[in-house]
Amino acid sequence: MAGLEDLYREIILDHYRSPRNRGELPVPPAVMAEGHNPLCGDEITVYLDVDGGPDDGVVRDVKVAGQGCSISQSSASMMSQAVIGKTVPEVRALVRRFKGLMSIEDADGAGDGDAAAVPGATGDDPHPLGDLEALQGVVKFPVRIKCATLAWNTLVQALDQEAPASGG
Amino acid sequence: MTSGTTTPAPTPTVDWAAVRADFPFLERRIDGEPLVYLDSAATSQKPRQVIEAMASSAACGYGPINRSAYRLAGEATDRYEGARAAVARFVNAPAAHEMIFTKNATESINVVAGAWGRANLGAGDVVVLTHMEHHANIVPWQMLAADRGIEIRWVPLTDDGQLDLTDLDALLDGAKLFSFTAMSNVLGTLPPVAQLCRAAHDAGALTLVDACQFVPHNATDVQAWDADFVVFSAHKMCGPSGIGLLWGREALLDEMPPFLGGGNMIGNVTLDGFTTAPLPDKFEAGTPPITEAVGLGAAVEFLETIGMDAVRRHEMDLTRYALDTLGQRYGSDLVVHGPSNVEVRGGVLSFAFRDLHPHDVSQVLDERNVCVRAGHHCAKPLMRLLGANATARASFYVYNTTDDVDALAEALDGATDIFGL
Ligand SMILES: Cc1ncc(COP(=O)(O)O)c(C=O)c1O
């Protein structure tokens, strides 16, 4: 049986109590995307500032605003920490990895082998997702998967504005 | 009776333990423990009588409705029409053929918006709604607004979650329809339905009463309300999902065009066109929910046996007990939205608990098998007014007891432990 301790790991509660990178960024130069969880009404806004183009741009800063439950808020906080400093392709690969962790197959990402190309996330790293792996327990509570992925889906919307996926 | 309050007359005492014994779900164990089901405002559990009536009619009494001479079909038709008569009697509708079976209350409202609305509303015509409507009584009108340019006006709320009727006459001035809930699914508020119908009629408007939350929990009399349309769903009143009700005045239903076209709703069909069947068939295109109607009939009988005044009294007692218990235990850490006077509220408690998100509250409560709803309850405009994206909601029905309230109060402590608040 999945216990609450699988869901509410200490590191999740820490990000929930003290969320990182809360706030807003001026738009432009940043882009902004809003995400909704239609089931519960949670709303999240992701501000993304990328330095450079879609292929080699680097995430200079990310800020997160909005309200949500402990899972959506902590996931957003961890997401913001994880993507700052990464290139756009690295971020997209990380999103796919995270969705994999949530047992979600990303249809359009399937088979392009991108996930394996995340620097520092090759086969020899047993914890390629770092803190984010604390969210793995969410999979045992399927209703909450949408909470965990809200910030990530919103990040992808922002990325698509900043640097439309090349499609190839 | 003062308008706006629904305090029933004293009734003979009900053996609530015997009522509970009729609900098989109470025998269910999760992690070895029974369930504390506090989500009847979303959908109710079903008593043995309903489950058995549906099972036996599906097993050995099943057949088509209306179209065949053989006895099995005749029996099935009798049961189907018997359910219609039972539910018409249950809400004191003047005639059974004014009671239309739909899929649910949502579809019922869409029938009124789609059939009556399209025939009677054009650009600039006014429909009045309130700030505490369910999306089911908002979106169909917004669809007409987008299509037809009708105007929607809103009756606002007071601070304690009742309708603010100060400007009602001005809002109703020139309106064609006033469509409002008889009981809020978020706040539990019970607006003064008869008074609102009178005000609408004085202004020359028709009324649609969304009685989805009201009918399962209160004695209902559509004639005493003097309403024009009334909608509700079987699944919230101990019946099955898949069947809902639209009651309308015969003259209105007769004048309306049909909503769905197809089999059963026609009088005649030629290559040139069709004529419609008389009520209720005119609004029941296609094969209807046959087994579900049987379940609805059994649910009505079940509730009649308890007595709706007794149901209301039981839920008032539980609501009062819950407000007292939670208030004493958690003080200002737990805020219940809506009226504090149980005379004007039903057994629905939406609450905020400390700084916890409702999702986390319901998750923690689930660990103790306490089932409460967390979310926007399909009433996002109301949630916005409450300043929340979501609330946790506990709601009561005939199978709940004060022990369930105690279990809720106790389980909330678990949240305090986990989140260290
Ligand atoms: C007040 C109110 N109106 C309408 C509905 C819609 O009912 P249904 O989903 O059965 O169509 C509900 C159900 O949640 C409700 O609470």
Q: How far is the CA of B51 from the centre of ligand 1 (A)?
A: 22
Question: Is pLDDT of B68 > 50?
Answer: yes
Question: Is pLDDT of B317 > 90?
Answer: yes
* pLDDT for residue B266: 94
Give yes or no for residue B104 CB within 6 A of ligand 1. Answer: yes
Q: Chain A residue closest to B420 (CA)?
A: A13
Evaluate whether B227 touches B193 at the Cβ level (below 8 Å). Answer: yes
Alpha helices in B22-116 (DSSP H): 48-60, 71-90, 105-111
* pLDDT for residue A140: 87
d(CA B114, CA B118): 6
> CB of A1 within 8 Å of any CB in chain B?
yes
CA B133 to ligand 1: nearest atom: 1
From B134, B179, B181, B235, mutation site for ligand 1 pocket: most ligand atoms within 8 A of C-beta: B134
Domain ranges of chain A: 2-162
Give yes or no for residue B39 CB within 6 A of ligand 1. Answer: no
pLDDT tens digits, B137-151: 999 999 999 999 999
CA B181 to ligand 1: nearest atom: 1
Residues of B in contact with A8 (CB under 8 A): 418-419
Which among B29, B139, B360 is the top mutation candidate for probing chain A, defined by the most A β-carbons within 10 Å of its own β-carbon? Answer: B360
What are the catalytic residues of B? 378
* Average pLDDT estimate for B174-192: 98
d(CA A123, CA B277): 70
Complete domains list, chain B, with CATH: 16-46+307-419 (3.90.1150.10), 50-305 (3.40.640.10)
> Worst-scoring range by mean pLDDT, A89-98, A127-136, B168-177?
A127-136
d(CA A80, CA A65): 11
With bands split at pLDDT 50, 70 and 90, how would you rate the model's confidence at B90?
Answer: very high
* Average pLDDT estimate for A12-18: 90
Give yes or no for residue B185 CB within 6 A of ligand 1. Answer: yes
With bands split at pLDDT 50, 70 and 90, how would you rate the model's confidence at B80?
Answer: very high
* pLDDT for residue A102: 87
- CB–CB contact B390 A42 (8 Å): yes
CATH class assigned to A2-162: alpha beta
B298 to chain A, minimum CA–CA distance in Å? 32
Inter-helix orientation angle A88-101/A145-162, to 10°: 160
d(CA B79, CA B301): 13
Q: How far is the CA of B233 from the centre of ligand 1 (A)?
A: 7
CA B107 to ligand 1: nearest atom: 11
pLDDT tens digits, B248-265: 999 999 999 999 999 999
* pLDDT for residue A125: 55
Evaluate whether B292 touches B62 at the Cβ level (below 8 Å). Answer: no
Give yes or no for residue B106 CB within 6 A of ligand 1. Answer: yes
> Worst-scoring range by mean pLDDT, A90-94, B66-70, B169-173, B249-253?
B66-70
For chain B, how many residues are written?
A: 421
Give yes or no for residue B111 CB within 6 A of ligand 1. Answer: no
pLDDT mean across residues, chain B: 95
Which among A1, A6, A70 is the top mutation candidate for probing chain B, defined by the most B β-carbons within 10 Å of its own β-carbon? Answer: A70
Residues 6+ apart with CB under 8 A from B373: B39, B41, B42, B362, B392, B393, B395
With bands split at pLDDT 50, 70 and 90, how would you rate the model's confidence at B421?
Answer: low
Q: How far is the CA of B231 from the centre of ligand 1 (A)?
A: 9
With bands split at pLDDT 50, 70 and 90, how would you rate the model's confidence at A118?
Answer: very low
Question: Is pLDDT of B45 > 60?
Answer: yes
Coil/strand/helix, residue B381: helix
- CB–CB contact B376 A8 (8 Å): no
Q: How far is the CA of B37 from the centre of ligand 1 (A)?
A: 18
pLDDT tens digits, B97-133: 999 999 999 999 999 999 999 999 999 999 999 999 9
How many other CB atoms sit within 10 Å of the CB of residue B24? 12
Q: Chain B residue closest to A67 (CA)?
A: B389
Alpha helices in B64-189 (DSSP H): 71-90, 105-111, 118-120, 139-148, 168-172
Question: Is pLDDT of B227 > 80?
Answer: yes
* pLDDT for residue A1: 53
Q: How far is the CA of B136 from the centre of ligand 1 (A)?
A: 6
pLDDT tens digits, A51-110: 987 778 999 999 999 988 899 999 999 999 999 999 999 999 999 999 988 887 654 444
Give yes or no for residue B134 CB within 6 A of ligand 1. Answer: yes
3-class SS string, B187-211? CCECCCHHHHHHHHHHCCCEEEEEC
In the numeric block, the tokens 């400093």 are attached to A85
| Whether the bond into A28 is cis, omega within 30 of 0 | yes
With bands split at pLDDT 50, 70 and 90, how would you rate the model's confidence at B419?
Answer: confident
With bands split at pLDDT 50, 70 and 90, how would you rate the model's confidence at A129?
Answer: confident
| Whether the bond into A29 is cis, omega within 30 of 0 | yes
pLDDT tens digits, A23-52: 999 988 899 999 988 777 788 999 999 998
Residues of A in contact with B360 (CB under 8 A): 69-71
B390: its two tokens: 């979501």
Alpha helices in B308-347 (DSSP H): 308-330
